[in-house]
A = this chain, B = another copy of it.
Amino acid sequence: MVKNPPVINRLAILGIGLIGSSVSRAARQYGAAARVVAYDTDGDRLARALALGAIDDAAASLEDAVTDADMVVMCAPVGAMGAIARQAAPAMRAGAILSDVGSTKTSVVADVLPVLHQGVHFIPAHPVAGTEKSGPENGFATLFDGRWCILTPPEGADTAAVDLCAAFWRALGSNVDVMTPEHHDTVLAITSHLPHLISYTIVGTVMDLEEHHHWEVFKYAAGGFRDFSRLAGSDPVMWRDVFLNNRDAVLEMLGRFTEDLQALQRAIRWGDAEKLEALFTRTRDARRQIIEARQA
């Protein structure tokens, strides 16, 4: 493989959890950044990330991390992005790129745009890849390989900055899409947020059963429940923030889902064999298409 020059010279990661440490590992492993410095409010975590070899340098303060950075990526829960940007932007050099990996985009754009400083390019991003784990121990360099990364640049964003951000994510192995924050939030509400909401709910329903039933449920989880429990093991703060910050789109999709569930409930109650078989046949096709999209 021919080694390309790094896309970014100095990269700063703010929040070195699952995603932050994966971005850092991938950037270093694939040579997308020449040097990666990180900062985290949790000093222990930052020290662990350094000891694990996930980053080149641990900064003593957020300002130290961003001062000389060519690109700063905020990797904290979406509710924290506004406050982090408010602190980071004034310390960044003119012409540098501020980005993030948040799972909601309308709220992040609304929180960050007003606190930007002249000359800093804000290019929001969301890598659609992840696991149910959190923390820097669980990050890995290949997380974004073959996955999609969605950029939602504000109107009038600097095209060179958008291109650089896209080149960075491509260097990590991702495919890149560009869309509006609103469109992002609608699509992600159904592909990611609603599945998590439902998983949290059904696992909660099980936890409400009498204690002696729990173990039985866990024993027989291979019957389907385990697929749901994986999502429901995801980070509570991250997901609290997602639902608080994409409320309208999530409630809209939840409304459609609930209607459809009621129709199916009725079909079961009345023993409507044809209706059940027809729906179950139709959904098979979706699985096939996801496999074709190589996202299975």
Question: What is the interface of chain A, defined by CB distance below 8 A to chain B?
Answer: 103, 128-130, 132, 147-148, 150, 177, 187-188, 190-209, 213-237, 239-240, 243-244, 247, 250-251, 253-254, 256-258, 260-261, 264-265, 268-269, 271, 273, 276-277, 279-290, 292-293, 295-296
> This chain: how many copies in the complex?
2
> Which residues of chain B are within 8 angstroms of A209 by Cβ–Cβ distance?
190
CB < 8 Å: which of B221, B243, B257, B265 contacts A295? B221
CB pair B215–A281 under 8 Å, yes or no, is no
The residue in A201, A216, A264, A289 that gathers the most chain B C-beta atoms within 10 A of its C-beta is A201
In Å, the complex CA distance between A289 and B216 comes to 11
CB-defined A-B contacts under 8 Å, sample of 15: A147-B222, A190-B206, A191-B217, A192-B224, A195-B224, A195-B228, A203-B283, A204-B264, A204-B282, A214-B289, A221-B290, A247-B269, A247-B271, A251-B265, A254-B261
Knowing A128-B222, A218-B293, A296-B226 are in contact, say whether A236-B284 is a contact too (CB < 8 A). Answer: yes
- The prevalent SS among residues of A at the interface is helix
Q: A201-B260, A219-B295, A244-B276 are in contact. List 20 more A-B contacts (CB 8 A).
A: A103-B223, A128-B220, A130-B222, A148-B220, A191-B216, A191-B221, A192-B223, A192-B224, A195-B223, A197-B261, A198-B261, A201-B264, A204-B282, A207-B285, A215-B293, A222-B295, A240-B273, A243-B276, A247-B271, A254-B265
